[in-house]
Amino acid sequence: MINWFVKTFPNVAALGWTGDAGWGTAIFQTLFMTFWSAIFGGFLGIVFGLLLVLTKPGGVLANRFWHNVIDKLISILRAIPFIILLALIAPVTQKIVGTQIGMKAALVPLTVGVFPFFARQVQVALESVDAGKIEAAQALGATTKDLIFDVYLKESRGELIRISTVTLISLIGLTAMAGAVGAGGLGNTAISYGYNRFANDVTVVATLLVVLLILLVQLVGDLLVKKLSHQRRR
């Protein structure tokens, strides 16, 4: 079995598990980048999504000025293609992380790249919460904090998990792109050790691993939605 594998995919086996070019290292780097940028980007996305909904005209904290500012900021950030963002943001990354290369450095552009995208979806998810629920909660004397956590976030949790799944999947795509410009990970393996060295088997295996990861995320996401959502079908 192992012999067969080494024979059929010589280049794949040659990279080994550990070491700079190892599969284990690449997988770890991809997971590391995905996980932390999902945490940071997810947090910022929820905060900005919430702010958009709360400050909108007629909202719980209606404020036209801040609503416009945040709205424009998100639109502009979202309009920058990720590959350009990587270059554009390099000086900022240098300031925050102390270097422009490697997986830690990649977290800055990944976070900035993903959060506006996520914030917009959070905004849509939160707006799907029936205004009647907000009103009923207010009539019960709910505080703004209650409205945020018990009504907006909790009532849209099924939708939030769904959009998180979608976002996580596109984030994995972004890590592959970041990998191509020196952040490591499976994207880097596919390009640097596969494509650039004419080692097709490496490219194929790296791709399979990325696809597997994405399918896993989708599966877990779907299960969670099923388990946590009690909304009437619309």
Partner 1 sequence: MAQIELKHISVDFSGQDAVRDVSLDIEQGDILGVIGYSGAGKSTLVRTINLLQQPSKGTVKVNGQVLFANGQQQVSAKQLQASRRKIGMIFQNFNLLEEATVFENVAFALKHAGLPDDELEQRVNHLLELVDLQSKAEAYPVQLSGGQQQRVAIARALANKPDILLSDEATSALDPKTTKQILDLLYRLNKKLGLTIVLITHEMDAVKQIASKIAVMKNGRVIEQGPLLDVFLQPKQKLTQEFVGGALEVQEILEKYHFQNLAPQEQLVQLVYQITDVTQSVLADLDQAIGTKASILYGNVEQIGGQPVGTLAVLLPLTPEQEQTAKEFLASRHVLATKLDKEVLTDD
* Identified binder of partner 1 from the candidate list 11, 63, 94, 138, rule CB under 8 A: 138
Is 159 a binding residue for partner 1 by CB under 8 A? The answer is no
Exposure class string for 187-200: b at 16+ Cβ within 10 A, else e: bbbbbbbbeeeebe
Is 71 a binding residue for partner 1 by CB under 8 A? The answer is no
CB 103 within 8 A of CB 185: yes
Is 140 a binding residue for partner 1 by CB under 8 A? The answer is yes
* Identified binder of partner 1 from the candidate list 4, 7, 65, 230, rule CB under 8 A: 230
Q: Which is nearer to partner 1, 124 or 225 (CB)?
A: 225
* Identified binder of partner 1 from the candidate list 154, 197, 226, 227, rule CB under 8 A: 154
Is 61 a binding residue for partner 1 by CB under 8 A? The answer is no
Is 223 a binding residue for partner 1 by CB under 8 A? The answer is no
Count, residues near partner 1 per rule CB under 8 A: 24
| Cα distance between residue 178 and residue 93, in whole Å | 13
| Cα distance between residue 212 and residue 204, in whole Å | 12
Closest CA to 147 of 161, 128, 163, 133: 133
Q: For residue 76, how far is the Cα from the chain centroid?
A: 18
Q: Which residues here bind partner 1, judged by CB under 8 A?
A: 130, 132-133, 135-143, 146, 150-151, 154-155, 157-158, 228-232
